[in-house]
A = this chain, B = another copy of it.
Amino acid sequence: MIIKVGIVDDKSGDRNILNDKLSRHPEFKIIFSAKDGVDFLEKMNLLDQSSLPDVVLMDLEMPKMDGIAAIAAGSALFPSVKFVVLTIFDDEEKIFVAIKAGAFGYLLKDESAENIAGMLLNMYENDAGPISPGIAYKILQLVQNNKVTRDAKATFDPKKTFFDLTDREQEILGLLVKGFLYKEIGAQLNISPHTAKKHVINIYQKLHVNSRAQAMKLAYEKGLL
């Protein structure tokens, strides 16, 4: 099976290297190289349906029209074409936006050409978009750090599963993370500040921390609110 490839990158050096490396593999056929988003769309429009590329390797930072815009336009105009980002950028904002724009995969330029070729081939065997490991981890962190949230459905609730704080302790933890002093917590609950403090110490032991800051970190990260 022959994979038809388009390359879009403003650096002619990068274009040529890619071109050379992929041409070594008989499975790939380079259909065109373009130097920016506008150039890319023009070249795509000149092709008839049967000679459209299967996959377009798209750099992100380009003059005239950047990779994000090109992917958004291209995936709308040519839905059968898969767009794979191939860039040096690994910041989460770019990753997120590129995926939203319709990227099928996301590879870093510091992957070896061998790896890139391998992942592209793999994409057709497994019907899964190629992703550099580092990028996959970044996406995982997006999910983990609540930068993205699940639209509905239940997420895991560690409150009930672990840290079996008593009701009173839960209540006091709630005040603790709001920044109140022991004396203020005591005043709000009509108990002695000593008692408030005792509860807090007990909470620390259950959470295996030894400062308010660590307890707050845990409370926020694990959603113990």
Chain A residues in the interface with B (C-beta under 8 A): 68-69, 72-73, 76-77, 93, 96-97, 99-102, 105-106, 119, 122, 126, 128-131, 133-140, 142-151, 153-156, 158, 161-163, 176-181, 207-209, 211-214, 216-218, 220, 222, 225
Pairs A-B, 5 closest by C-beta atoms: A136-B136, A179-B213, A128-B137, A179-B214, A148-B148
Q: Out of B96, B101, B146, which one reaches A158, CB within 8 Å?
A: B101
Distance of A214 from chain B, by nearest CB (Å): 4
Interface residues of A: mostly helix, strand, loop or mixed?
helix
Q: Is the CB of A133 within 8 A of B126?
A: yes
A/B interface sample: 15 pairs, CB < 8 A: A68-B156, A76-B208, A76-B218, A76-B222, A97-B155, A100-B156, A101-B156, A105-B137, A126-B134, A128-B136, A128-B137, A146-B151, A148-B151, A177-B213, A178-B213
Distance of A205 from chain B, by nearest CB (Å): 12
**Chain B residue nearest to A122 in the complex (CB):** B133
Distance of A2 from chain B, by nearest CB (Å): 22
Q: Out of B96, B140, B149, B209, which one reaches A179, CB within 8 Å?
A: B209
Residues of chain B with a CB closer than 8 A to A218's CB: 76
Residues of chain B with a CB closer than 8 A to A134's CB: 126, 128
Residues of chain B with a CB closer than 8 A to A212's CB: 212-213
6 new A-B contacts at CB < 8 Å, known A180-B213, A212-B213: A76-B158, A76-B163, A100-B155, A129-B140, A149-B149, A177-B213
**Chain B residue nearest to A181 in the complex (CB):** B211
Cα separation A136 to B222 with both chains bound (whole Å): 24
Residues of chain B with a CB closer than 8 A to A126's CB: 133-134
Q: Is the CB of B133 within 8 A of A137?
A: no
Q: Is the CB of B149 within 8 A of A151?
A: yes
**Chain B residue nearest to A41 in the complex (CB):** B162
**Chain B residue nearest to A102 in the complex (CB):** B144
